[in-house]
Amino acid sequence: MNHMAEVIYQGHLRTQACHIQSGNIIVTDAPVDNNGKGEAFSPTDLVSAALSSCMMTIMGIVAERDGIDLKGLRAEVVKIMASTPRRISEIQITFSHPQLNATEAQKQKLKNAALTCPVALSLAESVKQNISFDF
C-alpha cells in the first residue's frame, strides 16, 4: 500500500502535510478559540473544505460527461462547531453559478451527484450537511 501523505507536527499546534505524489504542502493551525494561532486552516476547516471540494469534483465529472461548463462554480462554506465533545456539528455549503447553462434535469443530476460524493457519505450522520444550490 502506498502512502498518500506524510504529516509532521511542527510544534505550537501546527502541522505540515505533504502530498507524496505531487509534493504539495498543507499547513494547519489550531484555531484561536482552541489555543492556536489561527494562521492557517484548522483540521476541521479542512474537513469542511474537503466536503465542498469533493462535491465540486463529482459535479465536475457529471458536467464533463454531459457537456456542461461548470467553470466558475463557487462554494461558500460555513463550519459550526459543538462542544462536549468538541466536534463539527454542521457544515453549511452554498453553491452558486448564476450563468450555469444547463437544463433543470441536468441541474438536478449535478445536485444529486454532489450530495452523494465520497466525503459526504463518509462523514458521521451526526454532522449535519446543510447544502444549497443557487443555479
Query: What tens digit of pLDDT does each residue of 28-64 get?
Result: 999 999 999 999 999 999 999 999 999 999 999 999 9
Q: How many residues does the chain have?
A: 135
pLDDT at 22 over 90: yes
Residue 58 · residue 40 · CB < 8 Å: no
Which cell is 116 given?
452523494
Say how far apart CA 30 and CA 99 lie, in whole Å: 37
Which cell is 5 given?
501523505
- Total-model pTM: 0.94
pLDDT value at residue 131: 98
Domains assigned to the chain: 5-34 (no CATH), 43-134 (3.30.300.20)
Say how far apart CA 123 and CA 112 lie, in whole Å: 17
Element of type H or E holding 121? helix 118-122
pLDDT value at residue 1: 81
pLDDT value at residue 117: 98
pLDDT value at residue 129: 98
